[in-house]
Amino acid sequence: MRDTLPLLDLTGFPAIKRNALDTLQVNLGYMCNMKCVHCHVAAGPHRTEMMDDANLALITRVLKVQKLNTLDLTGGAPEMHPRFRDVVIAAHKLGVHVIDRCNLTILYEPGQETLANFLAVHQVEVVASLPCYELDNVDKQRGKGTFNKSIAALQQLNKLGYGQPDSGLILNLVYNPQGPSLPPEQQGLEAAYRQALREHFDIRFNHLFALANMPIKRFGDYLITKRQFHDYLRLLKDNFSADNLANLMCRNLVSVDWQGYLYDCDFNQQLGLRLPDADHKASRPHLRDLLHRDINGQPIRVAEHCYGCTAGQGSSCGGALHDDVKAS
């Protein structure tokens, strides 16, 4: 796969700094049972990168030392890591809130028959990709048969209590546009999802997160092939909103790749833009550094893709960023 065009024009993007660290977002590996068009990680069934045991052990230590509230597990399909459940159990014992970035179809992969029940028992928040509530649109973006499997998975999670009032089991859905456009207003789209999924499939969920597609990796290559790369960047820049800066996810989150190296966000991780080293050391900042390092107040590394998080209503792992539309 060829690389996307470099994202280096920082003209006009303001300098931003970190607040207190709250969330550790860990990419357990790039292996996935799917190969979605919009995937900024370029994950797929043939990827072999997986976090090793030494770095897995560091996750729990960092959670304790930094006194973090949230462990956000992503991939690929994070559940395909053979020690995914061990990581969840260890974090749960510490009282840390665990998020699983789930593609839903993973529940029907061989060996994952008990996954949904495991997530429920350990009160794992499920953030599930469902780019539309109509079959044709989902299958076009994520592969034939994906929609029906996703609906069945959501129904299975609902039966366990996910998305149900007062259950404590959180089920959030994720929307991505199919092409080079900004996501629609989140509250209105959530209402449309809620109505369609309840009427047709009796499915309930907590919130919908409307995310912008980032012009990197697989989606960036798609834009280049369609000759829409520069037009999409211009769209993002033209819709920049300073109102989004205060709520950017990189202010309270640090991203960890499968080798344990640190980045300001998952998108910087995919571009190899490592966490700035305040001590100006030659080595790359690593998970083990968080055992004795406070990164509060540190500058955040920015590039053109940062306009994707700040365009329009804003975009983050928790959905829109404006205070009046941000999911709680």
SS (H, E, C) 243-282: HHHHHCHHHCEEEECCCCEEECCHHHHHHCCECCCCCCCC
User: pLDDT per position in the chain (328 positions), as tens?
Assistant: 344 444 444 456 788 999 999 999 999 999 998 776 656 677 788 899 999 999 999 999 999 999 999 999 998 899 999 999 999 999 999 999 999 999 999 999 999 999 999 999 999 999 998 888 888 877 776 767 789 999 999 999 999 999 999 999 999 999 888 788 898 899 999 999 999 999 999 999 999 998 888 888 777 888 889 999 999 999 999 999 999 999 999 999 999 999 999 999 988 998 889 998 755 555 789 999 999 999 999 999 998 888 889 998 887 677 776 544 443 3
> Does domain 23-310 sit in CATH 3.40.50.1100?
no
What residue ranges do the domains of the chain occupy? 23-310
Q: What is the pLDDT of residue 7?
A: 44
Q: Give CA separation, 230 vs 214, 221, 226, in Å.
A: 13, 12, 11
pTM of structure: 0.89
Q: What are the DSSP calls for 170-230, one per residue?
A: -EEEEE--SSSSPPPPHHHHHHHHHHHHHHHH----SEEEE-PPPSSHHHHHHHHHTT-HH
Contacts for 301 with CB less than 8 Å, ≥ 6 apart: 264, 268, 273, 274, 275, 276
